[in-house]
Amino acid sequence: MTEPSIALITKRAGLARAENVQRLNLENLGLGHVGRLQECRALEDLCLADNKITTLEGLGALRKLRRLDVSGNRLQSLAGIEHLDALEELFVQGNQIESWDRDIRPYLLDLPRLRVLHLKTRTGASANPLCASEKAYPTMILQTFPQIEVIDGNRVHLTHVRHFEAAEPLPDLTPASQELPEPKQWTWEVPSSFQHDLLDTSLQEAFATNLSDMKMLLAEADKRLERHFPKAPGARPGPARRQLRRGS
């Protein structure tokens, strides 16, 4: 079988009319072409995994498609999906894609809702050739599409942003099934008014701690301020003491 017939589409979907089909699984049917699917304009979820498809030309009419699985085919590029502007999840592992810039990037530029992209499985199986030849591809993906949340089944951390300019592979990502850790509640930088003449090096480094440590440091800073600038009777508390009271 090279192309799905309308009869097959409606039978697999359990509907009488192809234009009403919203979810369709045509996995492992020996398909080589997908042009007939353009009649299924209501499609939102389409699985074409493990066929013999060499091109996605003909899918451009599926403007409601949100999830597309074309893993395990013979694709060398993603040409044909550039107009699927509702697409959120794309699975293309197990194909023959060799270049990010030539074979993938140009066809994803107009897909603003894309959040999930698989070029291999989370265990590293079914990898496209580019996964070995362009090992920094996760960074290239995020440089161009910062809205991506999951790459190869791994959830992207916000902390991976710092790797963009380095153009180096991202550190280990977190499996998408795991929850991200809670962010740290408090971070502090050394105020410019407390420099070397007031605080020694150890205290400056300690300013990158949480609020409880900050209170202790401010108390120590007050003592040093009083040694440098004795306050007159009845004067208002110094800046460090006012900061300490606000944090109480």
Domain extents in the chain: 6-175, 201-247
pLDDT in tens, 229-241: 665 555 555 555 5
CA–CA distance, 93 with 19 (Å, rounded to integer) = 28
DSSP 69: E
Report if pTM > 0.85. no
Check residue 235 and give its pLDDT. Answer: 55
**Residue 2 — pLDDT band, cuts 50, 70, 90?**
confident
* Superfamily grouping for domain 6-175: Ribonuclease Inhibitor (3.80.10.10)
Whether the Cβ atoms of residue 61 and residue 34 lie closer than 8 Å to each other: no
Evaluate whether 51 touches 26 at the Cβ level (below 8 Å).
yes
Note the pLDDT tens digit of each residue in 156-171.
Answer: 865 544 444 343 444 5
Mean pLDDT to the nearest integer, 123-144: 93
Q: Mutual orientation of helices 239-247 and 211-228 as an angle, nearest 10°?
A: 160
